[in-house]
Structure 1
């Protein structure tokens, strides 16, 4: 039994197809099939039922796959221990980021990080929170950046920063004359929201203390873009709420429409999250330190009290 054989078993279990598993493992299909067969012969059991399409895992195979994940992870941990002992920060690292954070955060820290840690091959993927959690569990992401808390048993959450909500209130809107906003001022019926599935949308709905169905009288909006929400607000179709970092690069004419909240300001907690088994922790810490140092200086309200129900 070898670590490589167990890695091949995990690939087949995930993709339920020997050809695809071989492709993802960067080996030929006969090589992968032979190694899996060799392991089954050694154990004198069948891990996979090849008579079904897609391939299914036998009952004993499920137990072997679960144990194989532990063994492969622990083998990776040995390499981590050596890297940490040598002070080496390098190698492949896959980082997931949710869509409402990616466009603003990435330009702020990426250049600084790659200049400081040139031996890290950083692979960045934009994914929903649900997919981030699944891919961390499956080992496809080393870490991720998301709005927290998530309260997932196998995930560690390390807060990076607290990002205040900012109102975008166009001319002629009922809240325009207010000097500062408060959650009590908000009416979900005239707030332009991101489409379902975005955690920022959920936070806004919770901030408004309502879960009622959202839908304007004359249109229903499904957009994943803050820019779209701003443009629609400028057309007199309502107001919207933006994360603070999304307001930094707005032009002067749009910044005139920003309304800040009375303290304590509602905010979202943004954290780096990773599996509690802490693989590649030295790279995770390097990313965390880089982001925290860059972003905290850009956010004026560093010590805001978190009252936003984005933090469930």
Structure 2
């Protein structure tokens, strides 16, 4: 049994196809198939049911795949131990970021980070929270930035900052004359929301304390863009809520429509999350230090109430 064989098993388990697994592993398909077969022969079990399309994992195979992931992670840890001993911060680092954070946060820290740690090859992927969690578990991401708390056993959460919600209230809206707003003032039926799957949407629904499966009576919006929500609000179709950092890029005219909440302001906790195995922890720590230092100066709010990104229902 070798680490390489276990890596090939993990590739087949992920892609459910020997040809694609070989391509992603940068080997020929006969080489990968032969090594997987050798491992099955050595263990005297079938890991994969090749008679099904796509390839299925047998019951014993599922246990082997789970253990193989642990073994491969521990093998990678040896290099981490050496890197940490040498004080080396470098190599590939795959970072996932949720869509409602990526456009505002990434430009704030990326240049500083790559200048400070030029030996790190940062590979950044925009994914929703569900995908981030799955890819952290499968080892396809080293860390991610997401709204928390998630309270998942195998995920560690390190808060980076607390980002208040801010109301965007157009001139003709019923709350336009309010100096500040209160969550009790909100009516979910006139709040423009992001499409399903965005944790910021779920945070707003939790803030308003309404069921997750509610439906707007007038229209159904499928947008993942805060800019679209702001433009629709300007057309008189309702108000919307924005994360604080998104308000910084609005022009001066649109900023006149911003309404802040009374204290404590509803806010989301944004954290750096990673697998409890803590692989490449030295890069994770470096990333946390850079982001925290930069965002601390941009968000001065102190009195906040964290709104969960997870459904209460």
Instruction: Quickly name the TM-score band, shorter chain normalised.
Output: over 0.9
Q: Is the 8 A contact 2:149 2:308 kept in 1?
A: no
Q: Which residue of 1 aligns with 2:52?
A: 52
Residue of structure 2 equivalent to 1:305: 304
- Structure 1 residues 55-74: aligned runs within 5 Å: 55-74=55-74
SS at match of 2:4: helix
The equivalent of 2:274 in structure 1 is 274
Q: Mark the runs of 5 or more structure 2 residues left unpaired by the alignment.
A: none
Aligned length: 310
RMSD between aligned residues: 1.3
1:205 alignment counterpart: 205
Aligned to 1:215: 216
Residues in 2 aligned to 1:53 and 1:222: alpha-carbon distance in whole angstroms: 34
Match of 2:131 in 1: 131
Question: What SS class does the counterpart of residue 151 from structure 2 fall into?
Answer: coil
- Normalised to the residue count of structure 1, the TM-score between the two structures is 0.96
The alignment partner of 1:241 has SS state of strand
Shift of 1:307: 4.0
Q: How big is each residue's C-alpha offset from its partner over 1:142-183, in whole Å with a ceiling of 9 and x where there is no partner?
A: 111100001111100110000000110111211111111111
Is the CA contact 1:8–1:21 (under 8 Å) kept in the aligned structure 2?
A: yes
Give the distance between the partners of 1:245 and 1:69, measured in 2 at CA. Answer: 38
How far the C-alpha of 1:28 sits from its partner, in A, is: 1.0
Deviation string for 1:214-255 (max 9, x for gaps)?
Answer: 3142x2211111000000111111111000000001110000
SS of 2:231's equivalent in the other structure is: helix
Alignment of 1:222-301 (within 5 A): 222-301=222-301
Contact preservation (8 Å) 1:95, 1:122: yes
TM-score relative to the length of structure 2 = 0.96
Q: d(CA) in 1 for partners of 2:49 and 2:190?
A: 55
